[in-house]
Chains A and B, each alone.
Chain A
Amino acid sequence: MEILAPLFLQAGYNTALVTIGAALLGASAGAIGSFVLLRKRALVSDAISHATLPGLALAFIAMVWLTGEGRSLPGLMLGSALTAGLGLLAVDWLTRRTRLAEDAAIGAVLSVFFGFGVVLMTVIQTLNTGEQAGLAGYLLGSTAGMLRSEAELIAVAAGVTGAAIFALRRPFTLVCFDPEYAGGRGYPTGRVDLALMGLLLAVTVIGLKVAGLVLIVALTITPPVTARLWTDRPGQMVVIAALLGAAAAWIGTAISASGEGLPTGALIVLVAFALFVISLLLSPKRGLLAGLIRQRRFQTLVHERQGLLAILRNEPIYDSLTLRRLKARGWLRADGQVTPEGLSAARRAEADAARWQLYRQSHPAEAELLSGRMMEPMARVLPPDLLAELDSRLALAAAKRGEAL
């Protein structure tokens, strides 16, 4: 297959370099995106990425004026970083100084900056330099025909950004979870936030050429959201998001290099979404499949418990699933007679049910958290000392009932 060559870096030096650069970019974007997601500011990167357009166009115009040639990647990156920074400041200023909420500020900045960028793009079209087509790639991302120097710049810049994120992981984590505590520990919260947004901006600007400014935001959102499905721990989440981002960028770039009409940015985003869907189905913690299995197991346990309690009360059992489970566990013989194991299991079930009821009265909040395991043997769910306490209280209550009689 033609996709295999680029996937395993066998499609020429340039394609391999671009693929590695994209993967490094994906890793940095996933990592910084995780912190931004935890800070609940995921869509800020949408404002940043759209705000790059006027800077891109201005840098192009300036370079054409000065040198006659406008497509130098470092110059375009610098220009887009400038207006993206302005956009970021504008979002911050609107949120802090007026009563507008952050989502409105994000939307206003992204549409206005992008609109002004479009105005400048039409100015460029009238310059007749014949090379404005080079800018179109920045809108939707294109690695086709990328120069070796450009690929090297993207790879190195993405690597440096990743290293900076790694170096700052501790303050980022603290500020994301507990800004006040972080402030108390002596971390300058404002400056840590600034560094977070600065690195997000850097990733966005570096990724423009690969993913395009409309779609780069996906690289900072989708992998972190996917990683969230696999873990509850922030440290792990950042690592998983970086791996997912790198994988999406690697595979997407490889597919894009394998044929015509396969835009890089779109493919990276679609691969990232595919990884999200797979995780949503299969993740052991929050996956749909795992949830379905847990629900089935719980249902089975409820049927077993109800069957055992019915045996103790000498009630007839009609439900076919209950009968099947009791027979499968060896608690009922084929002719419907209760086995000795069945009787002792029924006594245990009755005791567990009583323990659970008492536990729910004495520790309602904890019981709520453990309610998914209420059908399991209590000895497996609760620690031994708590179990002993519950049992002694149940015995006391039983003794009191005996006296009353």
Chain B
Amino acid sequence: MNPFLQLTLTPMLIGVLAACACALPGNFLLLRRQSLIGDAISHVALPGIVAAYLLTGTLSATAMFLGATGAALLAVALIELVRRLGRVEPGAAMGVVFTTLFALGVLMLEQSASRNLHLDVEHALYGNLESLIWLEGTSWSALLDPAALAGMPPQIFRLALVLAGLALFTVTFWRELMIGTFDPSFAQSIGARPRLFNIALVGLVAIAAVASFDAVGSIIVIAMFICPPAAARLMTDRLSRQIWWSMGFASASAILGYVLAGYGPMWFGSPHSVSAAGMIATVSGVILAGTALFGPRRRQNLAA
């Protein structure tokens, strides 16, 4: 028996992977002032997943993934449509669209509740990190045993794949992403196709959100899109360093948050643990508050 491997390692690892997968594209969103796209997308994942369930009748990972991604793309298109036709600022257009789609998801969920749907709004919001355990991990040697590894929660492999894909995209198109972020009109003029990369970025955000959403719930997804990159932005002026900082902050939030949620209440004499998802978001907020108070680059660049 090895309680660390069985009960702690996989949820913690999944938390770290999800946090990093969201924080990586979050850096670009932050600099493009599109941070709340992540917020909107993680809200509309709910109607996407419910619609996929109602259409297919299963809760298979593929159906949920396709449903949520489809809903995210639909939401982005609708936001653009409302912004153009209603001639309102992007924030307001986003508010109109994501609340409507979320309301639609809630209504569909309530209407289908009688059909014994193993999915509820709270699960969608809080996730279920604590349940992603690895019963086969009875000893350290299990880490080298393929049969035991196959018993790991599938989210771990999915998230690792998504994170690797995101990292590959970021490294490959580093120049295009950077120029498109800092100077879209210059990027246009040298043929770096900033609009194409903008769409690609939103697509990646959707994939990161959906992949993490299933494991950790929408509340961490939103927190990880914004808090680690924002804290990292207050540490450095260089984009590459900012990304490394954000990865560090994201991992620290996930690990510390998970530990505090599991063991924190015991220090107060309570036998019950609290929500790991909520605690991870809270820790990322504490880190952000710390950098906002003491970060070396917290102010505007007055000298520049």
Contacts and interface: CB of A to CB of B under 8 A. Distances in A.
Interface of A: 37, 40, 42-43, 46, 93-94, 97-101, 103-104, 106-108, 110-123, 125-126, 136, 139-140, 214-215, 217-218, 221-222, 224-225, 228-229, 261-263, 265-267, 269-270, 273, 276, 280, 286, 288
8 contacts: A43-B95, A107-B225, A110-B39, A217-B99, A228-B88, A261-B113, A263-B106, A269-B102
Contact of B95 (A119, A125, A218): A218
B110 A261 contact: yes
Given A42-B92, A98-B299, A215-B102, A263 B275 contact: no
A218 B273 CA distance: 34
B33 A99 contact: no
B103 A218 contact: yes
B121 A140 contact: yes
Nearest to A40: B89
B227 interface: yes
A93 B220 CA distance: 23
Contacts of A104: 30, 33, 35, 226, 230
Most central of A118, A121, A123 by chain B CB within 10 Å? A118
Contacts of B69: none
B292 interface: yes
Interface residues of B, number: 68
B275 A228 contact: no
Contact of B86 (A121, A225, A261): A225
Interface of B: 30, 33-36, 38-39, 43, 82, 85-89, 91-96, 99-100, 102-104, 106-107, 110-111, 113-114, 121-122, 125-126, 219-220, 222-223, 225-227, 230, 233-234, 261, 265, 270, 272-275, 277-282, 284-285, 288, 292, 295, 297-301
Most central of B104, B114, B226, B227 by chain A CB within 10 Å? B226
Contacts of B36: 43, 46, 103, 106-107
A99 B233 contact: yes
A266 B292 contact: no
Given A118-B126, A265-B106, A107 B121 contact: no
Contact of B96 (A115, A125, A222): A222
Contacts of B223: 108, 111-112, 115
Contacts of A136: 122
6 pairs of A and B residues whose beta carbons are closest in the complex:
A115-B281, A112-B285, A118-B278, A218-B99, A111-B223, A269-B103
A283 B33 CA distance: 32
Contact of A218 (B87, B96, B125, B233): B96
